A and B are shown apart, each in its own frame.
Chain A
Amino acid sequence: MVKDISKVTEELEQFSFDFHTEKPEIVAAGRDELRVRIGDFAGPLDLLLYLIKQEQANIFDIPIAKITAKYLETIQLMKRLDIAVAADFLVMAATLIEIKSKMLLPRDPKAEDEDIEFDDPRRELVDRLLEYEKFKTAAGMLHERTTIEQATFTRGALETDENNSEVDATVFDLLTVFQKIVARHLEEVKMEIEREEISLADMIRTLEGRIVEFGEVNLSGFFEEMRSHRELVTAFIAALEIVRSEAVRLVQNKTFGEILLRRA
């Protein structure tokens, strides 16, 4: 029996569907922390600000040579960056080097005579850093707000609410239902003589037809109708496909309740 289950899972794995496994994003470690993991920086400006703070430098008088060196050192350590982001880090590196070389040029003596304010090559960068830092601070504020917000709860839904107190079911709830049905299937001794294959497209059509006709379909009921493992797996994938297409919604009236597919 155990063997059979693994066979089903194997069968299931054959179908490569895009689950869109978005890994939970981790908020960068605090600026004060000693251990800074490479790649935690939100962008080149973020990294630059960090380096300036680390060097305890004045943002209005950046020691450009030192910071450039540090910057280049850090981006060399960055390995897990996607190419678009890496490009932005390199653009900043080029900007830093450009500023550094401009700083090496002697000032225009005429400009000094006329008492025109020396046009610091760093100015544009400083302006950008200051502008960026405002939004970075604003992002911190948003982070605090959402943390507080996530700590407040409104009442649970009432029976009278529209959609009848349903919660959105997840793919994992779907899997639980599927596993239950598979387990039940295994208990029934069945002879599979015919080998009538039903394609995924057919299955999707059947399920869609059912949803259109009845407005909603009880998923475990639908799975129960399947006569073989193969059909069951196809039905499951059909359900996933239909949910993914967002033409229907997965709803569950209570925790561990029956999962329904309903027209969106």
Chain B
Amino acid sequence: MEDPVSENVESAAVAKAPARTPGELVALVEALIFVSEEPIGTKLLADILGEEKGAIQAAVEQLSAEYVERSSGLQIREIAGGYQIATRPEFHEEIRAFLKTRPSAKLSLASLETLAVIAYKQPVTVPEILDIRGVQSATSIKTLLDKRLIVAKGRKEAVGRPMQYGTSKEFLLQFGLKDLSELPSIEDFEDLVSSGSELA
């Protein structure tokens, strides 16, 4: 759905041959990130504005720095493969008071663990999750599927052809991740664990 739109816009924009100052580009990028309902990616921005990706990235960095510099209540975030304007977390109380919302129900420890296993081991089957957690995870998997944090990723070519699961885009959004590579490596936790456990 994105493609035809961006193609049209691209040809229109290229025809115009942009002659913008860097400041104008930063302003335009800000405006587009602002109106975009979902995080907007570098490529889409570049297509719409008829600019090089590098120029877009520089503009976003500039914009982000400006926000930081003036201690703005907003921030530019890179999330789920795009950019987004969001409020800074320290203002959550006042914002919630205004929006009259409460933080949504948190995931249980069991669900979080199951999600962690899926995030790091994907695509992963239910028996593989059981192996690591040592406990049935069916309820957690259902909760995670309901919350659309995980998706079925086809069947594994093994005995019984078990279903494999992986994380979704919603997962990236809800956990503020640019992409899966932004997750700290599981080996980092290993160091943490063994240094904490080695008493002797």
- Which A residues lie at the B interface, using CB under 8 A? 22, 24-28, 40, 42-46, 56-61, 82, 84-85, 87-89, 92, 128, 130-143, 145-155, 157-158, 160-162
> How far, in angstroms, from A119 to B192 measured CA to CA in the complex?
26
B14 CB to closest chain A CB, in angstroms? Answer: 25
The answer, yes or no, to whether B111 is at the interface (CB within 8 Å) is: yes
A71 CB to closest chain B CB, in angstroms? Answer: 13
| Residues of chain A within 8 A of B139, CB atoms compared | 82
User: B37 to A42, Cβ gap below 8 A?
Assistant: no
The answer, yes or no, to whether B136 is at the interface (CB within 8 Å) is: yes
| Residues of chain B within 8 A of A46, CB atoms compared | 109, 113
Most buried by B among A42, A45, A92: A42
Contacts A137-B189, A150-B103; is A43 near B110 (CB within 8 Å)?
yes
> How far, in angstroms, from A88 to B103 measured CA to CA in the complex?
32
User: A152 to B199, Cβ gap below 8 A?
Assistant: no
> From B193, which residue of chain A is reached at the shortest CB distance?
A133
| Residues of chain A within 8 A of B173, CB atoms compared | 149
The answer, yes or no, to whether B112 is at the interface (CB within 8 Å) is: yes
Interface of B is mostly: helix
> How far, in angstroms, from A89 to B87 measured CA to CA in the complex?
44
> How far, in angstroms, from A42 to B113 measured CA to CA in the complex?
8
Q: Which residues 97-151 in B have Cβ within 8 Å of A in the complex?
A: 99, 103-113, 115-117, 119-120, 132-136, 138-139, 143
| Residues of chain B within 8 A of A143, CB atoms compared | 106-107, 112
| Residues of chain A within 8 A of B186, CB atoms compared | 134-135, 138
User: B106 to A146, Cβ gap below 8 A?
Assistant: yes
Q: How many A-B residue pairs have CB under 8 A?
A: 160
| Residues of chain A within 8 A of B189, CB atoms compared | 133-135, 137-138, 141
| Residues of chain A within 8 A of B12, CB atoms compared | none
Q: Which residues 55-97 in B have Cβ within 8 Å of A in the complex?
A: 75, 77, 84-90, 92, 95
| Residues of chain B within 8 A of A25, CB atoms compared | 105-108, 111, 143
Q: Which residues 21-62 in B have Cβ within 8 Å of A in the complex?
A: 34-35, 37
User: B89 to A139, Cβ gap below 8 A?
Assistant: no
| Residues of chain B within 8 A of A147, CB atoms compared | 103, 106
B75 CB to closest chain A CB, in angstroms? Answer: 8
User: A139 to B116, Cβ gap below 8 A?
Assistant: yes
Contacts A138-B119, A142-B115, A152-B77; is A84 near B136 (CB within 8 Å)?
yes
Contacts A43-B110, A59-B197, A142-B175; is A152 near B115 (CB within 8 Å)?
no
User: B108 to A130, Cβ gap below 8 A?
Assistant: no
> How far, in angstroms, from A45 to B88 measured CA to CA in the complex?
37
User: A135 to B200, Cβ gap below 8 A?
Assistant: no
User: A152 to B86, Cβ gap below 8 A?
Assistant: yes
The answer, yes or no, to whether B18 is at the interface (CB within 8 Å) is: no
| Residues of chain B within 8 A of A43, CB atoms compared | 110, 113, 133-135
| Residues of chain A within 8 A of B181, CB atoms compared | none
> How far, in angstroms, from A125 to B12 measured CA to CA in the complex?
64
Contacts A137-B192, A142-B112; is A154 near B199 (CB within 8 Å)?
no
Contacts A25-B105, A27-B106; is A44 near B88 (CB within 8 Å)?
no
| Residues of chain A within 8 A of B194, CB atoms compared | 130
